[in-house]
Chain A
């Protein structure tokens, strides 16, 4: 069985602060894929990143960075110098190599205050 845990239900930061969103996953498969999606107040989910289980390199894209650690089954997401427009619900998701569907975490509501 697959499971994704996002223990932080809500986080509030002040603009320009750095913030890290935690994601812990469980799977018995050796091949799997991890994702982060952003859901702004408008409702649609926006794809941010996909990583496979064989690539543990951290990734940076502008103010966004992701830290994948298989030893702790974590795939954390950091926003540097947060902005008000970053306010959204962020979902972590998992698909095993043979999966026919994604398993989503419960999401973290991030509020960036001006």
Chain B
């Protein structure tokens, strides 16, 4: 079973607030990913990291930013939340490249009012 954690699990916040979604893994994986998923819909990659101090944007344009200062930690930040940011955010990690299985956290369901 994968050891990847996300907090908070649920967040309801007002427009304009700054938020940080936390993601941590204890497996020592170099590769980490953030996906955005609307209910019942496919996953879209918004950020990924291949190691400390490495971050890249994914296919789906996002106003969020990420950082990777420690191997185990990959937080995602929204400087000013908007209703259009309402979605589920899933964090994942993998030991090798994207051609290998990714292990997912439980997700954060974000609602911006």
Contact = CB atoms under 8 A, between A and B. Distances in A.
A67 B30 CA distance: 32
Nearest to B41: A106
A101 B92 CA distance: 11
A35 B109 CA distance: 24
Nearest to B97: A100
A45 B89 CA distance: 12
Contact of A101 (B33, B103, B105): B33
Nearest to A52: B99
Interface residues of B, number: 25
B40 A47 contact: no
B37 to A, nearest CB: 9
Interface in A49-105: 50, 89, 91, 95-97, 99-102, 104-105
B107 A44 contact: yes
A105 B107 contact: no
A46 B92 CA distance: 11
B7 interface: no
B32 to A, nearest CB: 12
A32 B98 CA distance: 11
A42 B109 CA distance: 11
Interface residues of A, number: 25
Contacts of A95: 97-99
Nearest to B56: A100
24 contacts: A33-B99, A43-B107, A44-B90, A44-B104, A44-B107, A45-B43, A45-B92, A47-B103, A50-B100, A91-B43, A96-B99, A97-B99, A99-B97, A99-B99, A100-B48, A101-B45, A101-B58, A101-B98, A102-B45, A102-B102, A104-B43, A106-B41, A106-B42, A109-B40
Interface of B: 33, 40-43, 45, 48, 56, 58-59, 88, 90, 92, 97-107, 109
Given A100-B97, A101-B59, A102-B45, 19 more contacts: A33-B100, A43-B107, A43-B109, A44-B90, A44-B104, A45-B90, A45-B104, A47-B102, A47-B103, A47-B104, A50-B101, A91-B42, A91-B43, A95-B98, A95-B99, A99-B99, A101-B33, A101-B98, A105-B42
